[in-house]
Structure 1
Amino acid sequence: MRIKLNGIAAIGLLLALPLAGCSSGEETAAVQKAPAGPRLVLASTDAAAWQDVAAEIATVDQAQVLARIPGILTSLSVREGDMVRKGQVIGRIVDSQLGYQSGAYGAQAAAAQAQAAQAAAELERVRFLHQNGVYAKARLEQAQAAASAAQAQVRAARAQQAAVGAVAGQGEVVAPTDGRVLRADVPAGSPVAPGMPIAVITAGPTIVRLTMPESLADKVRPGAQVMADGRSGRVVKVYPAITAGQVIADVDMPGIDNSTIGRRVAAKVETGSRKALLVPASYVTSRYGIDYVTVLAKDGSAAQVPVQTAPSAETGKVELLSGVAAGDTLIAPAKGG
């Protein structure tokens, strides 16, 4: 009976030896699975903190073309989108009453001119008689005063006529600056009043105008980076006034499409800095819509770890939001793998 048990123990020992050898081989294979590519130890770095805000394509200023006199807008030669030059006449306003006033003042000037001619002739006659001792000096002075008064009436009537002509000249609708016509929605033939906007023209360079909640007023400063419409720019001005809980900022963004002023665009503005894990995009692989990084374990093995990523402002890098921590060692995947 004892011999039989020893035989069973021997058989069990023989079966255990191959299993032990197999376990050792698996551990060796696991260690060898770690790729030999570049390695990176994760460390927290300062990264820009971003906030999504509303934005639109705008210009530094918008110039309104206003009616300067009352009357009828007889012509308007521009439409939305047209380019205009400073001083260009784009329309005309006519006040029919000005024509009547000009005619009346013209008639007054003609009458005054006739009276002045009569007074001048009378002055010459009185002067001749005074020189010949017929009239006294007082009569001569009286004739001189009458002639001077008649000339003054002529000048007054002509000045009134010129004033009416100047007012009529203000009926020209003139572009105040170079730019593009944004609105010109008053049709020709419409009556207009002084101060009524006839058209709106862009003035100054094209910018991106941000509309932000007032909580960002102390976080956004001139020089802050802004991303919008696939381009990058910098805040050049933050308006000090807060209206309806919102603050406005202007962004200089070269190359922005200004074909449509007022177009809304998606934008985000830099509001400070925060700690983030930034890695080169080459360390991240994607399979079936999930991002993975290769993490080196303490025993030398490697594991594919799913991570959540986000775009980074630094070219060629992404931010790791979850799945790994500072101090972990990443292994870049082999090229072509």
Structure 2
Amino acid sequence: MNPEPPTTPAPPSFPPPSAPRSRWPGRLLVLALIAALVGGAWWLVQRTKAPATPAAGASAGGPGHGPGGPGFGPPGAGPGGTTVGTARAEQGGLPVVVDALGTVTPPITATLVPQVSGVLTEVLFEEGQMVKKGQVLARIDARSYEQSLAQARGQRAKDEAQLAAARVTLARYQTLWEQDSIARQDVDTQAALVKQLEGVVEAGRASERAAELNVGFASIRAPISGRIGLRAVDPGNLVSSGSATGIATITQVTPIDVVFSVPQDLVQPVLAAQRRGTLPVVALDRGRSQTLAEGRFLTLDNQINTATGTVRAKARFANDDGALFPNQFVNARLELGQEQGVLVPVTAVRTGPQGDYVYVVDEERVAHMRPVVRGIATAERVLVREGLQPGEQVVTEGGDRVKDGSRVQLAGGAPAQGAARAGEGQGAPAGTR
């Protein structure tokens, strides 16, 4: 048996030598592009970090250059730090005010309702006219009431004549009784008749006065002084007593009131301030930009509205110029006095996780965070109750770029002394020596 000849293994297959040579140029090109992009990005970042002007005292290749040199810093920060606006804290007071929406309400409103029935013969007023109390404004045909008055007077005269005759008879009976010429019963009967006639006369006089009133009611007079409204009935129409609409309405406009609401938490402060003296009230227009009138606080209502948690309040205004009109909506501002404290601009007080704080700038132009307790405020200033002393300098603008302990540069001021001293040892730009 012949042995099988050994098999020779097949040589390994290799890619053609031309394949790797064709890929390497493309790879090198991609790597070159990536390197160029990275380098450009790095250059742009370093350019944005570089200051617009070289740092004071820095020369080429000196400590003012390079990524870590003192010439680099956050945007907006120069050698003296972040530029900020500042203001001095002042001792003073702010008015304690209560602002509320109010309604102009006339103190008195009267409707001209006829008290007798008849034909309206005359209207003696112009619509919108200012009238005075007692002024005749209209007339009703009074002829029937004049006749009733004449009849009452005639009846009264008749009753008085009968009373006079009865009194004469009584006097005669009393004389006869003294002479024992008449019975006592006749005297008593005549005396009772006199009393009866006296009552009749008194009733007649009352009827006469009632008739006089009806005649007077035929002339409709103004019950109050004020501005009369539009006429509801024209002359020639029949009017009746007790009419719901009436002829016209008069509203008192001088003085006039403003009714507004006060929160229930301020009831006691308002009462306490009222005990100290008169409280001023200002009526402003709806935009709170114009003062319409100035008056004084009158009183609070006697109970709290449980639905709103407020108490109705009333203030009175002279309104000589007629600036306030009945049922007009105004903004009432009640001043309860003044609260004393340290005053700073509203923009100086900031709020953080730990509460309200301000940045106080010391003499070295270093900002320090200071917690404060704020009080009342207006549109421009806020009162600080605790944490700040009068005369201290606080940051009002640019505080969002300030950190506790950082150096700042005052707007429009010279650099800080510390920054100037730091620049002295580093030289100066050309042209400054």
The question of whether the paired residues in 2 share the 8 Å contact of 1:89 and 1:175 is answered with: yes
How big is the shift at 1:175?
2.8
How big is the shift at 1:234?
5.4
Letter in 1 for 2:314: D
- The residue that corresponds to 1:70 in the other structure is 116
How big is the shift at 1:172?
3.5
Residue-by-residue CA offset, 1:117-167 (whole Å, 9 max, x unaligned): 9x69x97xx99xx9xxxxx778x989x979969985677545533431133
Q: Structure 1, unaligned stretches of length 5 or more?
A: 1-15, 131-135, 284-293, 303-310
The question of whether the paired residues in 1 share the 8 Å contact of 2:260 and 2:312 is answered with: yes
Letter in 2 for 1:261: P
How big is the shift at 1:88?
2.1
Q: 2:149 aligns with which of 99, 102, 112?
A: 102
| Alignment TM-score, normalising by the size of structure 2 | 0.45
The question of whether the paired residues in 1 share the 8 Å contact of 2:105 and 2:326 is answered with: yes
- The residue that corresponds to 2:259 in the other structure is 209
SS of 1:193's equivalent in the other structure is coil
**Residue 332 and residue 167 in structure 1: after superposition, are their counterparts in 2 closer, same or farther (change >3 A)?**
farther
- The residue that corresponds to 2:219 in the other structure is 172
- CA distance in 2 between partners of 1:182 and 1:297 (Å): 68
Matches for 1:236-315 after TM superposition, within 5 Å: 236-242=298-304, 245=308, 246-252=310-316, 257-258=322-323, 260-268=325-333, 278-279=344-345, 300=365, 313=378
- The residue that corresponds to 2:63 in the other structure is 20
Q: Which has the higher contact order (CA 8 A, sep 6+)?
A: 1
**Residue 213 and residue 280 in structure 1: after superposition, are their counterparts in 2 closer, same or farther (change >3 A)?**
closer
How big is the shift at 1:331?
5.1
- CA distance in 2 between partners of 1:330 and 1:40 (Å): 13
Letter in 1 for 2:61: P
Matches for 1:128-167 after TM superposition, within 5 Å: 157=204, 160-167=207-214
**Residue 77 and residue 116 in structure 1: after superposition, are their counterparts in 2 closer, same or farther (change >3 A)?**
same
SS of 2:250's equivalent in the other structure is strand
- The residue that corresponds to 2:136 in the other structure is 89
Q: Structure 2, unaligned stretches of length 5 or more?
A: 1-58, 349-358, 368-375, 383-394, 414-433
SS of 1:70's equivalent in the other structure is coil
- CA distance in 2 between partners of 1:227 and 1:106 (Å): 57
- CA distance in 1 between partners of 2:187 and 2:96 (Å): 91
| Alignment TM-score, normalising by the size of structure 1 | 0.54
Bigger share in strand:
1
The question of whether the paired residues in 2 share the 8 Å contact of 1:65 and 1:175 is answered with: no
SS of 1:54's equivalent in the other structure is strand
Letter in 2 for 1:250: K
Indicate whether 1:228 and 2:284 are aligned.
yes
**Residue 194 and residue 249 in structure 1: after superposition, are their counterparts in 2 closer, same or farther (change >3 A)?**
same
Number of residues of Structure 1 aligned to a counterpart in Structure 2 = 284
SS of 1:56's equivalent in the other structure is strand
How big is the shift at 1:62?
0.9
How big is the shift at 1:202?
0.8
- The residue that corresponds to 1:8 in the other structure is none
**Residue 299 and residue 177 in structure 1: after superposition, are their counterparts in 2 closer, same or farther (change >3 A)?**
same
- Greater shift, 107-116 or 235-244, is seen at 107-116
The question of whether the paired residues in 2 share the 8 Å contact of 1:177 and 1:203 is answered with: no
Q: 2:104 aligns with which of 50, 57, 67?
A: 57
Identity of aligned residues (%): 20
Between structure 1 and structure 2, the one with the greater Rg is: 2
- CA distance in 2 between partners of 1:100 and 1:158 (Å): 16
- The residue that corresponds to 1:193 in the other structure is 241
How big is the shift at 1:57?
2.6
SS of 2:255's equivalent in the other structure is strand
